[in-house]
Structure 1
Amino acid sequence: MLKVCCRPRTFAARLDSCIESTPVARHLLRAYLSALPAGDRYADTAELLLGELFANAVQYCDAPDDRHIEIRFAVTNGLLRLEVHDAGSGRPSLRTVTPDDEHGRGLFLVNELSAHWGCCPRAGGIGKYVWALIAPTPTIAAA
């Protein structure tokens, strides 16, 4: 199921909570960024982080009655804000990863590549959303 809401410079969509929706979320982000001036300056980092946040929401959501994930994008003060909403009760926590770990690097990447990130309760008290602010990559001046 895909439910989309657009306002100037903001975007929201509700997707099925399944790993197959992750590429759909990234595609919607690419479409959103392609419509913005200099949106390509956010693209690589934003796609990676959205994929990690969405996959975490699918994997760790413990709410069997609400199997949807909402994604939201907006540019504010030059930073791209990504939000991933789910009905789960758990809160993400950053953990130390070792070179041998096969999993668990998602939040590490979010922490390292975003300007700032966090987790907040959703309106109504059911679930949470994880957000990340992404700075545009600098443009390289021609020599």
Structure 2
Amino acid sequence: MFVARLDSRTESTPLARYLLRAYLSALPSGDRYRDTAELLLGELFANAVQHSDAPADQHIEVRFALTGSRLRLEVHDAGSGHPSVRTAAPDDEHGRGLYLVNELAERWGCASRPCGVGKFAWALVAPTTV
């Protein structure tokens, strides 16, 4: 399992995706997860930054682990609000991230952290056959 703590700001999203690419490049079949996993991680991370009610100086933790043939992505933050899929209006600039996660992940969800502080959103990514 790979774990990293990143600043809770939008500018950290590319770093999260870079760390995921580096993790996947070390796996024999990592390229079969890359595109979908990068998109999902970016959406989960951006959602944590934008919607967390945690203080701005809190970090966001990302975790990646290959479990069997599925890649598990986790984004941990100190906020208490759980994300939910919503329907964006055609002219909305935002609001489609979790819709993409819902459509592209094999499964996904959100849970409170075991220590009682914050939550984590997770997604399982199946390998592509291309």
TM-score (norm 2): 0.96
Could you say which structure has the greater relative contact order, defined with CA pairs below 8 angstroms and 6 or more residues apart? 2
1:5-56 per-residue CA deviation (whole Å, 9 max, x = no partner) reads xxxxx10000110111111000000000000011001000000110111011
Q: Which amino acid aligns with 2:55?
A: P
> In the TM superposition, what whole-angstrom CA distance separates every residue of 1:86-140 from its partner, at most 9, and x where no partner exists?
000100011122332211000000000000000011121010000000001014x
Q: Please give the alpha-carbon distance, in whole angstroms, between the structure 1 residues aligned to 2:11 and 2:87.
A: 28
Identity across the alignment (%):
73
1:41 corresponds to 2:32: yes
TM-score, normalised relative to structure 1: 0.87
2:48 to 57, 79, 85: 57
Query: What is the RMSD of the two structures over their aligned residues, measured on CA atoms?
Result: 1.1
Structure 1 residue 68 displacement after superposition = 0.2
Query: What's the counterpart of residue 121 of structure 2?
Result: 130
In 1, Cα distance between equivalents of 2:9 and 2:56: 14
1:11-90 pair list within 5 angstroms? 11-64=2-55, 67-90=58-81
Q: Which runs of 5+ in 2 are unaligned?
A: none
Q: Which runs of 5+ in 1 are unaligned?
A: 1-9
CA distance in 2, matches of 1:89, 1:34: 33
One-letter code aligned to 2:18: H
Does the 8 Å contact 1:66/1:87 carry over to 2? no
User: Which SS does the other structure have where 1:117 is aligned?
Assistant: strand
Query: Which sits farther off after the overlay, 121-130 or 61-70?
Result: 61-70
Q: 1:103 aligns with which of 94, 109, 118?
A: 94
How many residues align structurally?
130
